[in-house]
Copies of this chain bind each other. A is one copy, B any other.
Amino acid sequence: MKLITRNTDYALRALCYMSKHEGLVTVGRLVQKLGVPQPFMRKILQKLNKERILESHKGQGGGFKLKISPKKIYMVEIMRVFQGPLGLNGCFLKKDICPNKGKCVLRKKIRSIEEGVLGQLREITIASLI
Interface residues of A in 37-53 (CB under 8 A from B): none
Report the contact-size class of chain A (Cβ under 8 Å from the partner). Answer: 35 or more
**A68 within 8 Å of B by Cβ?**
no
Chain B residue numbers with a CB within 8 Å of A13 are 91
Q: Report the copy number of this chain in the oligomer.
A: 2
The SS class assigned to the A binding surface is: helix
Interface residues of A in 78-130 (CB under 8 A from B): 79-80, 83-92, 97, 99, 105-106, 109-110, 112-114, 116-117, 120-121, 124, 128-130
Bound Cα distance A88, B11 (Å): 15
A35 at the interface (CB under 8 A from B): yes
Indicate if the CB atoms of A88 and B4 lie closer than 8 Å.
yes
Q: Which of A57-94 contact B (CB under 8 A)?
A: 79-80, 83-92
Are the C-beta atoms of A109 and B128 separated by less than 8 Å? Answer: yes
One of B87, B105, B109, B113 near A2 (C-beta < 8 A): B87
A residues near B, CB below 8 A? 1-6, 8-9, 12-13, 16, 33-35, 79-80, 83-92, 97, 99, 105-106, 109-110, 112-114, 116-117, 120-121, 124, 128-130
